[in-house]
Amino acid sequence: MEIKNYKFKVDSILKVEVVNLKTLLSSNKGHLVTPHRTNFYHVFLFENCQPKHVIDFISYKVKPYSLLFIDKDKVHQFDQLLNYEGRVLIFTEDFFCTTENDLKFLRSTTLFNDINNNPQLNIDKNSFQKYSSIADDIYEEGKLPPDTSKQIILKNLLHNFLLLAEREKLKNKSNENNKGVDLDYAILFKDLLDKHFKTAKSVSYYANKINVSEKKLGQSTAKILGKMPKELIDERVILEAKRLLVHGNKTIKEVGFMLGFEEPTNFIKYFRKHTLKTPVEFRELHLFKK
């Protein structure tokens, strides 16, 4: 089954919204339980429920009164049972990023870029209320007629929500590493990687594009992202390979060619090296699970 791609509502003037999950699921449940991706960010505010939510082949068990952060362009799907309670806060990069610092924040915050693949923030019921309260304010502000202050107020409310959540997630952790020129290099690398991973798989290519030495680039990604550039390149290629194998109907040869492998045997060897399975084995395993 092909991955469905969805964009923020075209008739929305300001690309930020708070939606009740029961309302969302009652009208859109068909496509939500199949793999899909969006050009906007999701922040789920789960209340008293415990469904599973799948993000790029990882199944996350939802805990009551928790937050779940999903980066734009991630492939995810809802639990078939649709036993969700709470709301989802959605917004686009264009809405939030009115300055370069906003863009840096989104590209680097541990909320959407957790190096340990932990997009959840588990909190107690009392702490949950402060996030719920901000979501209420965003919802109410969104219903008001447009004026010169509306976009600023909504952006500030959203920023406060994300800053509070990031502070909570970073408790007892040092955030000193996420500053300075290393952050700039790591963000540039991630952006270039998303654009060129299908055709460029060498560290030297990205270092040259950024105009920095391979050694310095490695120091920056290790400091900010916890991994060396080559590891990040391989992870990005393998993730896209998994998406194409499971969510599409391309042959192994076609998938390999789409990812820059001219010879199918080279793609098979590369995939097996990083997953310990052949592309056929991986595809069959996940298709059987569906």
Q: Where do the domains of the chain lie, and which CATH numbers do they carry?
A: 4-169 (2.60.120.280), 181-289 (1.10.10.60)
Has residue 144 got a pLDDT over 70? yes
pLDDT number for residue 114: 81
pLDDT number for residue 229: 97
pLDDT tens, residue by residue, 165-189:
999 998 856 544 456 889 899 999 9
Task: Report the number of secondary-structure helices (H) and strands (E) in the chain.
Answer: 12, 10
pLDDT number for residue 210: 96
Phi and psi torsions of 120, nearest 5°: -95, 150
Task: Locate the DSSP E strands across 109-210.
Answer: 120-122
Phi and psi torsions of 18, nearest 5°: -115, 125
The DSSP annotation for 100-113 comes to: HHHHHHHHH-TTT-
Average per-residue pLDDT for the chain: 91
pLDDT number for residue 6: 87
pLDDT number for residue 172: 57
pLDDT number for residue 290: 55
Which of 164 and 24 is assigned the larger pLDDT? 164
- Cα–Cα distance for residue pair 65/84, rounded to 1 Å: 12
Under the banding of pLDDT at 50, 70 and 90, the label for residue 202 is very high
pLDDT number for residue 289: 62
pLDDT number for residue 115: 76
Give Cβ neighbours of residue 99 (< 8 Å, ≥ 6 apart).
Answer: none
Q: How many CA atoms lie within 13 A of 111 on its CB side?
A: 24
Under the banding of pLDDT at 50, 70 and 90, the label for residue 82 is confident
Under the banding of pLDDT at 50, 70 and 90, the label for residue 78 is very high
| Listed range (4-18, 152-166, 185-199, 236-250) with the worst mean pLDDT | 4-18
